[in-house]
């Protein structure tokens, strides 16, 4: 693998190429082959999408498929560059981006303007040509793919596993720079990671491309990220449960857990508010515990 700085291409073995955006170090993945190329989460800035389009044209593939791992704004912007391409996403994806249309457009416009560019293609919700859920096997030309539900951060999220390459495209999970970002309780996110853990332990995942941050290109680093994020979820869940048992309010719980170890995450941007949001998600999902009192005979 040839590393490169943020905002440039990373060349991997077997026709796999990664382009990292300058925005949040988001990774777009190109599986390049003359018969059939696959582009996962094309983004984010217009200039970066233009660069991705040039790379796709250079392959001159007979077919192109876009895969969208979930419905967050920074992952869904690329379709106008390839309006005729086939597309794959979770079967909850179309409903999610329809519901979030205005928020997606607002976030895209603001972020792109902040980077000194203009977003002039709008955003219109769309339904992917292929909708999947659960555990789904697919073959696109030379690429054999396994999609798995990956809930916890998003209700429309998929991971994409290439078993022949022993590669996992992890959507917004297992980053070296971001803590787990919760939309659902810790137990939901944990279930997703525990389904991936035996694959990593048994050699089926040797390389991991997260939605944001650096690629893990050694099996032991993949395992480290899985175990680190599981540790974070376990500690957050235990901390909130203890706070609930002690009758603490959400504000008191957040204050108690604000010093919780972020397990060595190195984001270029603060994770403090994300951690506070995680505490709130877990707090609301944890029932209050009513103390048992001895009322006497």
For 81-112, the pLDDT digits (tens) are 999 999 999 999 999 999 999 999 999 999 99
d(CA 112, CA 46) in angstroms, rounded, equals 8
Please name which of 109, 55, 31, 38 lies closest in space to residue 77, comparing C-alpha atoms: 109
Residue 60, pLDDT score: 86
Residue 76, pLDDT score: 97
Q: What six digits make up the tokens of 243?
A: 């706070």
pLDDT (tens digit per residue) in 199-243:
999 999 999 999 999 999 999 999 999 999 999 999 999 999 999
Q: Taking the CA atoms of 284, 75, 271 and 159 in sequence, report the sign of the dihedral they define.
A: positive
Q: Pairing state of beta strands 27-31 and 36-40? A: antiparallel
Q: Tell me whether the omega of the peptide bond preceding residue 104 falls within 30 degrees of 0, making it cis.
A: no
Domains and their CATH numbers in the chain: 1-132 (3.60.15.10), 174-203+218-288 (no CATH)
Please name which of 140, 142, 174, 146 lies closest in space to residue 160, comparing C-alpha atoms: 146
- For 159, residues 6+ apart whose C-beta sits below 8 A from its C-beta are 69, 147, 148, 150, 168, 169, 170, 171, 173, 192, 196
Q: What six digits make up the tokens of 118?
A: 């203009």
**Cα–Cα distances in Å, from 161 out to 34, 104, 144, 148, 171?**
21, 27, 8, 8, 11
Residue 260, pLDDT score: 84
Q: What is the mean pLDDT of each run of 10 residues along the chain (297 residues)?
A: 58 95 95 96 96 93 96 97 96 98 96 94 95 97 98 98 98 95 98 98 97 96 96 96 96 93 69 93 89 50
Say what the pTM is: 0.93
Q: Crossing angle of helices 272-285/250-257, nearest 10°?
A: 130
Residue 264, pLDDT score: 55
Q: Are 17 and 9 in contact (CB under 8 A)?
A: yes
Residue 267, pLDDT score: 66
Residue 1, pLDDT score: 42
d(CA 140, CA 218) in angstroms, rounded, equals 26
Is residue 253 classed as helix, strand or coil in its secondary structure?
Answer: helix
Residue 290, pLDDT score: 63
């Amino acid at each position: 693998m040839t590393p490169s700085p943020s905002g440039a291409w990373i060349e991997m073995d077997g026709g796999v190429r990664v382009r990292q955006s300058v925005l949040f170090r988001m990774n777009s993945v190109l599986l390049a082959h003359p018969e059939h190329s696959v582009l996962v989460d094309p983004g984010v800035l217009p200039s970066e999408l233009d660069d991705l389009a040039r790379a796709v044209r250079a392959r001159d593939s007979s077919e192109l498929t876009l895969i969208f791992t979930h419905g967050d704004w920074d992952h869904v912007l690329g379709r106008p560059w390839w309006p005729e391409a086939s597309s794959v996403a979770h079967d909850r994806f179309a409903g999610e981006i329809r519901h979030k249309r205005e928020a997606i457009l607002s976030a895209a416009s603001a972020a792109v303007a902040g980077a000194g560019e203009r977003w002039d293609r709008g955003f219109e919700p769309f339904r992917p040509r292929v909708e999947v859920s659960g555990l789904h096997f697919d073959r696109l030309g030379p690429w054999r793919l396994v999609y798995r539900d990956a809930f916890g951060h998003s209700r429309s999220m998929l991971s994409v596993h290439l078993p022949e390459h022993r590669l996992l495209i992890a959507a917004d999970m297992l980053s070296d720079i971001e803590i787990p970002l919760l939309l659902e309780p810790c137990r939901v996110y944990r279930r997703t990671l525990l389904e991936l853990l035996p694959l990593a332990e048994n050699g089926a995942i040797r390389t991991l491309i997260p939605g944001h941050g650096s690629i893990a290109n050694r099996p032991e680093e993949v395992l480290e990220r899985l175990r680190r994020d599981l540790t974070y979820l376990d500690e957050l869940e235990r901390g909130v449960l203890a706070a609930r048992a002690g009758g603490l309010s959400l504000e008191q719980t957040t204050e108690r857990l604000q010093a919780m170890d972020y397990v060595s995450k190195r984001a270029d941007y603060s994770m403090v508010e994300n951690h506070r949001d995680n505490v709130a998600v877990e707090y609301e999902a944890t029932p209050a515990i009513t103390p048992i009192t001895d009322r006497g005979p």
